[in-house]
Structure 1
Amino acid sequence: MEWFLIGAALVAWLIYRGSNQWERRPVTASMLAGDSGRQPKVPAKWIASGEGVRVAGVSINSGMFYLGGSFAGKPGAENCLVDPTCQVGSIRGDPEGKTLPYWPSYHSISPGARRTYLEWLAGGRNDPSIGIGYIFIFFYALERRLFIDEARNEASAMAAEVRRLLALHGENYSFKGYASKFLDVADLMANPDISRPALSPDLRSGYEMPLSIRLHLGRKLGSKLPFDSTDALLWVLSLPDTQLRTPASRCFEELAELWHVRFASRYPDGLKVNSPRTKIKVEYRAASGGFGGRVDLSDSELGPLPDVAALSTPIDGLRDL
């Protein structure tokens, strides 16, 4: 009996000692990964234009998107991120994008829709019939690249791509509005020098005057210079409520010539406009909903520029021309 008690005590002591040694072992990252089966996500990488990658068996050579699992703590939404760990269908699904939510993301769409998106990227983003939700997923990446990564040296290339997409999908009012805002700022980043935009029968940009025209006319107001006939016509044509009739659009050059004649007759010394107190401000709100902020548009010589969009008095007289 005595030997039995001694043996039992020895076994209990060994079990206690072994359990303490197990509890004191340090827990490593590899141990946690082994238990959960999860691996750390690969940091996102910007795939430059012309750079080739392969995702889920799809070769993509056009670039201009983010590839990886996470933005590693950087601000902004990740809805543009092409995560290579996401399941991708073997065939295309939902090319019209009917199942995509209002704010789509690569991570949230179906495997078949991911296949559609990847093949659209691989095809050079040229399919005019693709659902607009896929366009927005791609557009989110351009927004992030320009405003969060601050890739100003790529602003011109991104603006060119957005203009190309507008030519294919500009009938979608939502995309046209967001894309126009993007182009306003991207063009300014690509070329900070303020210049007068060219006359065109369709200068309207949604509910606001185009930024390029506001900057040009704002600089004239800040310099206390009168508007000439081209300035005045730019002003009128860019107003959100201006709608040229079909004959005027078709014969735009003749319309412009007649405008110049009538303007010179009524305003031989140019149109003097009192500068408003309101200054030009642009609050950029990303289409992705992931970020936003104010863009500094101060002139290097004049400082904050007056906003011609805040004026209404001279417009009535100009419309009569």
Structure 2
Amino acid sequence: MREGILRSGWMRCGACNGVTRWPECQARCGGLEDRSDDARHRSDVVRREACDPSIDDTRQLASHGVVPPQRVRRAVRWLVALSAWIDSRRRPAEIQALSPDPSEASPDVSEKPTEADAPPSATWIPPGGAELTIAEQRIASGMIYVGAHLPPVAEPCDVEPALIDPRLPVEGGRAARLEETMTCWPAYRELSPQHRAEYLGWLARGRREPDIDIGYVFLFFYGLERRLLHDARHAPVGEVERAALEAEILALHECYARSASFRGYASGLLGAMWMGEETPVYARLPPPEEPRAGELPLLLRLGLGQLLRDGVPVPAAWALSWALGDPEGWPASLATVGRCPDALRERFHARYAETFGSGIVRRPEGRELIVHYRPASASFGGGLVLAAPGVPDVAPIREPVKRLRRLLERCMAELEPASLRPDLDR
């Protein structure tokens, strides 16, 4: 039902199609509708204000392409007041009609909550937090969101994808084999009862099963992203919790290395979680070693920038990662490796020490590190802008990368082709 106002102050009723003054028609049939173009324009302005909280005055309306004249602004205020009055006068029967009785729901409730045993709002269970039992699965290690509702970080989703709602149906027991694979961007609420059972079982068993569908790993990973990149702004992550989350991401990165996509997102989160922090990541984290055409990984940019900032010689492991991350790309023989073979790593470390001694030392230069980071979770609705004040961005620096690339090519030429084959079993 749309509410509007005609220039004469009369209303058109959507129920009886008659034109009358709004108090009379509202009392008689409760259906008001205005079909004039002018009122439709004003109601569109009202809807835009209601849907977009960033529009709170006429100046902000200008930024959205709507600058109503004075008479329309008065009409907008009047329509808002009218809408509130109509809602307050709505009969109890009408209100109940908007909230149907759960007992009258359709038999197919596989995707709707069936029990009221979830907390009214979501709760973050920290690492080592209280043990939970959900659908007969005992989950003891925490690092999950549990509850009835948790809004997403941005608009694309209705509910946070990582949220575990205990009211949703779960098919008892672990599914022996699921015929359907997970979606590209899974959400717990949208999983089938069988997939929910498998996911909860995976959580209860410790999350270390290399052959599990990678969709379950991403679904759990979404919660880590939210805790570190969004909720940490109003509920800071303590040192102990941050260390536990870091260790979990590293363990997932190692266990599910078969997925190049997950390796990239896990490495990115390891860098993103330390952006803006004083902690030097080069002293606590290994650098990413897989070739990535097009850009330097965030963790690598942060670690190298901190090395330059602190005047510390670049260690061989970080120098190798810098060479592998060259955005100009690599020959197919190395691009197909996926991960740096042990033989190539050892040879590079030896030649690097011969050439640069304790490591390359370079003075900080250029702009500060500011990146547009894109999380894996659809909850964020896109990218985030992250900054590391005081840390130089090494991405534009080319001279040391060219020297490191020549050194790496020399090492590759010294090795047998068989030594450059992927060794993912290590």
> Could you list the per-position Cα deviations for residues 115-137 of structure 1 after superposition, in whole angstroms to 9, with x for gaps in the alignment?
10111111111222210011111
Q: Is the 8 A contact 2:267 2:299 kept in 1?
A: no
How far apart are the structure 1 equivalents of 2:136 and 2:341? 52
State the SS of the aligned residue for 1:320. Answer: helix
For 2:385, the equivalent position in structure 1 comes to 294
Q: CA RMSD in A?
A: 4.0
Structure 1 segment 1-321 matched on structure 2, within 5 A: 27=92, 35-37=100-102, 42-50=120-128, 51-71=130-150, 73=151, 75-76=153-154, 77=157, 78-93=160-175, 98-150=180-232, 151-153=236-238, 154-188=241-275, 192-194=278-280, 196=282, 203-204=289-290, 206-207=292-293, 208-219=295-306, 235-239=322-326, 241=329, 243=334, 249-250=342-343, 252-253=345-346, 255-263=348-356, 275-276=365-366, 278-291=367-380, 292-299=383-390, 305-321=391-407
Cα–Cα, structure 1 residues 134 and 95, in superposed 2: closer, same or farther, change >3 Å?
farther
Q: Is the 8 A contact 1:204 1:210 kept in 2?
A: no
RCO higher in structure (CA 8 A, sep ≥6): 1
Shift of 1:41: 7.6
Amino acid at match of 2:140: N
State the SS of the aligned residue for 2:349. Answer: helix
Amino acid at match of 1:203: E
How far apart are the structure 1 equivalents of 2:227 and 2:273? 11
Higher alpha-carbon deviation: 36-45 or 108-117: 36-45
Amino acid at match of 1:218: G
Shift of 1:81: 0.8
Q: Is the 8 A contact 1:228 1:270 kept in 2?
A: yes
Shift of 1:106: 0.9
For 2:27, the equivalent position in structure 1 comes to none
Q: Is the 8 A contact 1:67 1:83 kept in 2?
A: yes
Shift of 1:56: 1.7
Q: Is the 8 A contact 1:201 1:237 kept in 2?
A: no
TM-score (norm 2): 0.56
State the SS of the aligned residue for 2:372. Answer: strand
How far apart are the structure 2 equivalents of 1:70 and 1:160? 28
How far apart are the structure 1 equivalents of 2:180 and 2:260? 17
How far apart are the structure 2 equivalents of 1:143 and 1:198? 20
How far apart are the structure 2 equivalents of 1:89 and 1:199? 40
TM-score (norm 1): 0.72
How far apart are the structure 2 equivalents of 1:139 and 1:146? 11
Higher alpha-carbon deviation: 96-105 or 35-44: 35-44
Shift of 1:104: 0.7
How far apart are the structure 2 equivalents of 1:132 and 1:252? 28
Amino acid at match of 2:237: R
Higher alpha-carbon deviation: 281-290 or 200-209: 200-209
How far apart are the structure 1 equivalents of 2:140 and 2:146? 13
How far apart are the structure 2 equivalents of 1:100 and 1:93? 14
How far apart are the structure 2 equivalents of 1:263 and 1:178? 32
State the SS of the aligned residue for 1:46. Answer: strand
The alignment of Structure 1 onto Structure 2 pairs a total of residues equal to 286
> Could you list the per-position Cα deviations for residues 209-233 of structure 1 after superposition, in whole angstroms to 9, with x for gaps in the alignment?
344443354356568x696785755
Q: Is the 8 A contact 1:236 1:315 kept in 2?
A: yes
Q: Is the 8 A contact 1:199 1:234 kept in 2?
A: no
Q: Is the 8 A contact 1:94 1:112 kept in 2?
A: no
Cα–Cα, structure 1 residues 296 and 110, in superposed 2: closer, same or farther, change >3 Å?
same
Amino acid at match of 1:257: A
Shift of 1:269: 12
How far apart are the structure 1 equivalents of 2:201 and 2:217? 13
Q: Is the 8 A contact 1:53 1:61 kept in 2?
A: yes
Amino acid at match of 1:261: E
State the SS of the aligned residue for 1:107. Answer: helix
Cα–Cα, structure 1 residues 269 and 194, in superposed 2: closer, same or farther, change >3 Å?
closer
Q: Is the 8 A contact 1:97 1:131 kept in 2?
A: no
> Could you list the per-position Cα deviations for residues 92-112 of structure 1 after superposition, in whole angstroms to 9, with x for gaps in the alignment?
337568432111111111111
Identity, in percent, stands at: 32
Q: Is the 8 A contact 2:127 2:141 kept in 1?
A: yes
Amino acid at match of 2:131: G
How far apart are the structure 2 equivalents of 1:135 and 1:262? 42
Shift of 1:36: 2.5
> Could you list the per-position Cα deviations for residues 137-190 of structure 1 after superposition, in whole angstroms to 9, with x for gaps in the alignment?
11111111112210422222111111111111111011111111001122457x
Q: Is the 8 A contact 2:289 2:340 kept in 1?
A: no
